[in-house]
Amino acid sequence: MAKIGVFWVHNRTVIGKAGSVEAGIEGVPGIIDSHENHVDVWDINRQWLREFPCLAGVEYQEIPRGRVLFLKKENRPLVYLDKSLMAIENRLLISKFFEFEQSMALWKSDFHYATSKNELDNLFDENN
């Protein structure tokens, strides 16, 4: 069965933490989410540093990232991610990491996961 959790994609590799749907929480009716958050996984769970030591001084929000949830009624994953990760190659990497077929999931870009400087500037520009 599909897993849920948080992730980043760096150098064609998924970094993240996946867990079972059964261990998730239903904070929004019908949507199962992981207990994990990007800040804690990035700061506490640092096994990825062995493979990518260049990320040692990088903040969690600087790397394209996302979250996999599970839709109970539709019985399929819901993936929110930075729009830069929408390419099929990245979707295949993510789906493999979270153990589901890429075509099963509902894929949605979310400005919350933006890493582009222009998008972030627009997001925090008080004049918009």
Q: Which two tokens stand for residue 42?
A: 């990035």
Q: Who contacts 66 (Cβ-Cβ below 8 Å, separation ≥6)? A: 6, 7, 79, 80, 81, 82, 85, 94, 110, 113
| Residue 101 phi, psi (nearest 5) | -75, 130
* 66-83: average pLDDT: 97
pLDDT at 45 over 80: no
pLDDT at 123 over 90: no
Q: pLDDT class for 122, splitting at 50, 70, 90?
A: low
Q: pLDDT class for 47, splitting at 50, 70, 90?
A: confident
Task: Find the domain containing 84 and state its range.
Answer: 3-124
Report the 10 Å Cβ neighbour count for 14.
19
Q: Which two tokens stand for residue 50?
A: 């062995």
In total, how many domains does the chain have?
A: 1
* 11-33: average pLDDT: 97
Q: Which two tokens stand for residue 103?
A: 């075509």
